[in-house]
Amino acid sequence: MRTGLRIEIRGTVQGVGFRPWVYRLAHELGVAGRVHNHARGVTIAAFGPAATLDRMVARLREPPLPARVRELVAAPIPTEPGEEFVIVHSAEGGPRTLSIPPDLATCPDCAREIADPADRRFGYAFTNCTSCGPRFTIATGVPYDRPATTMAPFVMCPACQREYDDPQDRRFHAQPNACPVCGPQLALWDRDGTPLDAREPIHAAAERIKRGEIVAIKGLGGFHLACDATRDETIAVLRARKHRDEKPFAVMVADLPRARVLAELSAEEEALLASPERPIVLVRRRVGGRLGAVVAPSTDLVGLMLPYTPLHHLLLAQVGGPLVMTSANVSDEPICADNTEAVQRLGAIADALLVHDRVIATRCDDSVARIIAGQPTLLRRSRGYVPRAIALKAPVARPVLAVGAQLKNTFCVAVGDSAYLGPHIGDLDNLAAFGFFETAIARMEEVLRVTPEVIAHDLHPGYLSTQYARDRSAVLHVAVQHHHAHVASAMAEHGLVGPVLGVAYDGTGWGPDGTAWGGELLLVHPGRYERVATFRPVALAGGDLAIREPWRVALALVDDAFDGAAPLARIPAFARIPARSIELVRQMIRARINAPLARGVGRFFDGIGALGLRRTHASYEGQLAVAWNLVAAPDDHGAYPFDITDEATLPAIDLRPLVRGVVADLLDEVAPAIISARFHATLIRATVERVRAAIAIHGRIPVVLTGGAFHNPQLADGIRRGLADLEVHVHGDVPPGDGGIALGQALVADAVARHG
């Protein structure tokens, strides 16, 4: 007997070939009815025998990637006559769930076409289909249809239109569908923006790169600066022009076999590199490999990625070797995305620009990921992942905007039971980044058709994000403590309602007492928290200067541990520091002038790393911390002692015994690898002990590890092993560092909005 079913589907179901797949499925099963897109997702009306409709529902739950079904609700409806199944055009209206997918890496079918001289898309840099291509970065509104993208000005040629209209075609309703006849075109410009007579712009750009030039290349979410990754002298020029001393550059290689030549890859790392999201994956460089040390000075960790647009495939095929592909910006400004802006901002860095005439609607930097504790962990969640929703355990009471922190900023909009983290904005302390922050928030609100009623921000009054939040009108503003937000972001990711014990280890975050927090154990319910342990603080002489000059932290640690009677003359890290500078730092600490106390676990890595590595300066934040982690010997070499002392009724992990142990080992000329291993083991033991002490009081509740210090795989692994009998969660889809904090702010603000 013929019955009817209305099937509501939510998830990543627009712009990924979902409707044509439903169409083909209906034809295969002999089901009549219709399917249409709307702002909340996809709705199907299906008519046929009940058993057939059941089979259809079962199949619908598992669509081919990259489509994903998050929620499927089926309800009976009266049957209708007719034998056809049709695709109905998108209907306007109905707010609140964003079904725009993230940008997708070129699929194997499209990659084959551009390499096939017989194909009409041979060598065409903007080839895409329903399984791949730009999405979020070209979307200007919802529903996600061609008129609401930056492909709107390109009128499809008859051949493309036929593909677009044919439900059996791979390009049926592929919104960015294009070909050399009708689609976007490349051009090669000189640094002043003057078009160069390059009939084959990709070939000409490749020739320049092979000659040792730097070429700015317009990609999916912005420009890259590209050059030959094996030419040390070119990379040195790039560093000088970009004002970037030592921070590693990302490298793009044509395929996995070529990646294996440069780095030692695990199976998990290879899978992550080849995933449709195509993040930059941090991996260990192969010793003595082809990648010059200049790509990533004084670290063995390099960021590799595989091509994710046809342009990348074509370019790498011409260049052959690995390319440096670094975000095109000066220092901490946002990634450059507009052609005119590129000439202004990149003209002094690049020798030429490879541009095109498809507009980037929203900038989106490359994402960065690393395998931590055997799982992919996003360290920067942006292109390829944004704006995929994070499903919340319970819907938010009112729409929330959370504006994130100051550094590595991302924002988050939560509506219903979905949270949308925005693209990586970067450090808000420059004007350009702040402008990007404002426009990206406006765009997200526009595509979600939402006006946030609750606005969440950091407790720090000086953050530009905080000031932006306060300037906006809302029903409720909620200030969220930094580490509370870190823990809440892990709770949101794992659907934990609390209470949980949160191990929040990072660089710094404003505490309600006006001091910098950074190594905190918190008992967290969504809307509130209690601090259960911290670290004995260390003075940062010179404030932020101490982050660039970790010897200052090292000196403070050593003086504290030895009561000022440390054998400084025999500690190598201080050998090159003038006595006058040492005296000055000591005076600052004694007089408490510009020497704020910090508890950031990152600072202990800096300071002890400086001692162990015999280094005094860092050219970017966290440089020594990463190096200190990488040097650690893998085997068990024991640990140093530590104390628990009271910090105004709060137990504090006191690392003075550790510092004395480190100094003793240095004087005994113990290898840095072993000192680092012992340092890690001590932090792990101290953390495990404090967590167990808290569990003894508060019961067996889940534990989450969060904060930028958990970019360190050894720390996360070690604590997990030490707490193997407990439920311990680490981050995966949401960054452990400040790039994930907005999600936690949103969750906390919602809880406050509910319960006051």
Residues making contact with Zn ion (CB under 5 A): 107, 110, 129, 131-132, 157, 160, 179, 181-182
Tokens of 24: 């083909």
Q: Which is nearer to Zn ion, 128 or 706 (CB)?
A: 128
Does residue 11 come out as left (phi exceeding 0), alpha (psi in the -120 to 50 range) or beta? left
> Which residue's CB comes closest to Fe ion?
506
Q: How far is CA 600 from the centre of its chain?
A: 22
**Shortest distance in whole angstroms from residue 104 CB to Zn ion:** 8
**Shortest distance in whole angstroms from residue 584 CB to Fe ion:** 29
Separate counts of helices (H) and strands (E) for the chain: 22, 31
Q: Which does 110 bind (CB under 5 to 8 A by kind): Zn ion, Fe ion, none?
A: Zn ion
Residues facing 523 on adjacent strands: 501, 530
**Shortest distance in whole angstroms from residue 704 CB to Fe ion:** 14
Question: Does 606 participate in binding Fe ion (rule CB under 5 A)?
Answer: no
Q: Check whether the bond before 66 is cis (ω within 30° of 0).
A: yes
Interaxial angle between packed helices 713-722 and 623-630, expressed in degrees from 0 to 180 and rounded to the nearest 10: 60
Tokens of 372: 């931590």
541 near 596, Cβ under 8 Å? no
**Shortest distance in whole angstroms from residue 165 CB to Zn ion:** 13
Residue from 738, 748, 749, 752 that binds Fe ion (CB under 5 A)?
738
Q: Which is nearer to Fe ion, 190 or 621 (CB)?
A: 621
Whole-angstrom CA distances from 574 to 112, 534, 556, 562 are 58, 28, 12, 15
719 near 503, Cβ under 8 Å? yes
Helix H, strand E, coil C: the string for 629-641 is: HHCCCCCCCCCCC
Subset of residues 491 to 550 that bind Fe ion, contact rule: CB under 5 A: 506
Tokens of 685: 């033991």
Q: Which is nearer to Zn ion, 57 or 182 (CB)?
A: 182
**Shortest distance in whole angstroms from residue 695 CB to Fe ion:** 24
d(CA 470, CA 24): 51
**Shortest distance in whole angstroms from residue 396 CB to Fe ion:** 23
Q: Which is nearer to Zn ion, 182 or 726 (CB)?
A: 182
Tokens of 702: 């889940």
Q: Which does 179 bind (CB under 5 to 8 A by kind): Fe ion, Zn ion, none?
A: Zn ion
DSSP conformation class of 126:
T
Whole-angstrom CA distances from 265 to 18, 254, 718, 731 are 34, 15, 21, 21
**Shortest distance in whole angstroms from residue 620 CB to Fe ion:** 16
Q: Which is nearer to Fe ion, 661 or 736 (CB)?
A: 736
Q: Which does 157 bind (CB under 5 to 8 A by kind): Zn ion, Fe ion, none?
A: Zn ion
**Shortest distance in whole angstroms from residue 456 CB to Fe ion:** 15
Q: Which does 506 bind (CB under 5 to 8 A by kind): Zn ion, Fe ion, none?
A: Fe ion
Q: Which is nearer to Zn ion, 161 or 439 (CB)?
A: 161
Reported residue count of the chain is 756
Q: Which does 738 bind (CB under 5 to 8 A by kind): Fe ion, Zn ion, none?
A: Fe ion
Q: Which is nearer to Fe ion, 527 or 602 (CB)?
A: 602
Tokens of 19: 């409707």
Q: Which does 300 bind (CB under 5 to 8 A by kind): Fe ion, Zn ion, none?
A: none
Whole-angstrom CA distances from 55 to 25, 26, 376, 537 are 10, 10, 34, 62
Stretch that binds Fe ion, among 202-210, 292-300, 311-319, 732-740 (CB under 5 A): 732-740
Question: Does 654 participate in binding Fe ion (rule CB under 5 A)?
Answer: no
Q: Which is nearer to Zn ion, 104 or 205 (CB)?
A: 104
**Shortest distance in whole angstroms from residue 325 CB to Zn ion:** 21
Tokens of 357: 């005439």
Tokens of 80: 């209708």
Q: Which does 413 bind (CB under 5 to 8 A by kind): Fe ion, Zn ion, none?
A: none
Q: Which is nearer to Zn ion, 218 or 313 (CB)?
A: 313
Residues engaged in binding Fe ion (CB under 5 A): 506, 738
